[in-house]
Every structure is written in structure tokens, then in C-alpha cells.
Structure 1
Amino acid sequence: MLRYTLMRLGIFAGCLVVVWGAVYSGIFPRGFGASNGLWVLLLALVLSAPISWVVLRKERDRASVQIVTKVDRMKANLDANRSQEDVADDSARTQGQPS
């Protein structure tokens, strides 16, 4: 998961450098007044999203498999704890009843 996040940030940083260079060289238009920095950030974000979607498909699938296995393990642990609580509750009820 960390690898996917770092790769995504790397693609965004690359797009940011390219967009910054394109804006200051005049290829892309500049923002209005003092909004130029925000314009560069938003344009880099818009460009990096579809690039990340296509380029990082395998890494995203790998990260989702890791998440699914963690969730399944947590569900199994919760079910095991729940069954232990049921056994403890049942044994406490049978011990508390008079014979």
C-alpha cells in the first residue's frame, strides 16, 4: 500500500514539474493574478489522475489484494473472539444454575 502511494506521489510530482515548466514557458496559460500556483497544482492533479489510473493498475490490484486479506483476517479474528465469548457465556450460565 505504501509503495502504491509513493508511486502515485511520484507521478504527481513529475506532472507538477512538467506543468510548471509548461506554464512558465507559455505552453499552458497562466492563472489569473495570484492564482498561478493553485492553477499549476490543479492542472498537475488533473493530469496525474488518469496517468496513475492506467500506469499503476497492477500495483493498485496488488494493494487491493493486501487490503482484502487483512480484512478477511480481521473478520476471522472477530469470529473467533465471538465464539470464545459464547463458550465462556454458556459455561458461566451452566455453572450458575443450581443442580
Structure 2
Amino acid sequence: MLRYTLMRLGILAGCLVVVWGLVYSGIAPRGLGDSNGMWIILLSLLISAPISFVVLRKERDRASIQIVERVDRVKSNLEANRSQEDDAADEVTRAQGQTS
């Protein structure tokens, strides 16, 4: 998961440098007034999203499998804890029934 995130940030940083270069050289339009920095960031996000979607497909699938495995493991742990609590409650109920 961390690897996917770092790769995604790398693509964003690369797009940021390219867009900054295009805006600085005058090939891409500048933002209005003082919004030039925001314009560069938004344009970089817009360009990097589809690139990340296509280029990082295998890495995204790998990260998704890791997340699913982690969620399944947490669910099984919760179910094990729940069954232990039910067993303990049953024992208390049986003990109270025997003393009455």
C-alpha cells in the first residue's frame, strides 16, 4: 500500500514539474492573477490521475489484495473475540443457574 502511494506521489510530482515547465515557458496558459500556483497544482492533478490509473493498475490490484486480506484477518479476529465473549457469558449463566 505504501509503495502504491509513493508511486502515485511520484507521478504527481513528475506531472507537477512538467506542467510548471510548460506554464513557465508559455506553452500552457498561466492562471488568472495570483492563481498561477493553484492552476499548476490543479492541472497536474488532472493530468496525473488518468496516468496513475493506467500505469499503476497492477500495483493497485496488489494493494487491493493486501487490504482485503487485512480486513478478512480483522473480521476473523473480531469473530473469535465475539465467540470467546459468548462462551464466557454462557459460563457465567451456567454458574449462576447452579448456585440458585
TM-score by length of 2: 0.96
Deviation at 1:84, TM superposition (A): 0.5
- Runs of at least 5 residues in structure 2 that lack an aligned partner in the other structure: none
Separation of aligned partners in 2, 1:32 and 1:95 = 77
3-state SS of 1:46 partner: helix
1:16-55 correspondence to structure 2 within 5 Å: 16-55=16-55
Q: SS where residue 29 of structure 1 aligns? A: coil
Q: Give how far 1:46 is off.
A: 0.2
Equivalence for 1:70: 70
User: Which structure 2 residues correspond to residues 55-94 of structure 1 after superposition, within 5 A?
Assistant: 55-94=55-94
> What CA distance in whole angstroms lies between the structure 2 residues aligned with 1:11 and 1:5?
10
Runs (4+) off by over 4 Å: none
Percent sequence identity is: 72
Q: CA RMSD in A?
A: 0.8
Runs of 5+ consecutive residues of structure 1 not aligned to the other structure: none
SS of 1:34's equivalent in the other structure is: coil
Please report the TM-score for the alignment, with normalisation by the length of structure 1.
0.97
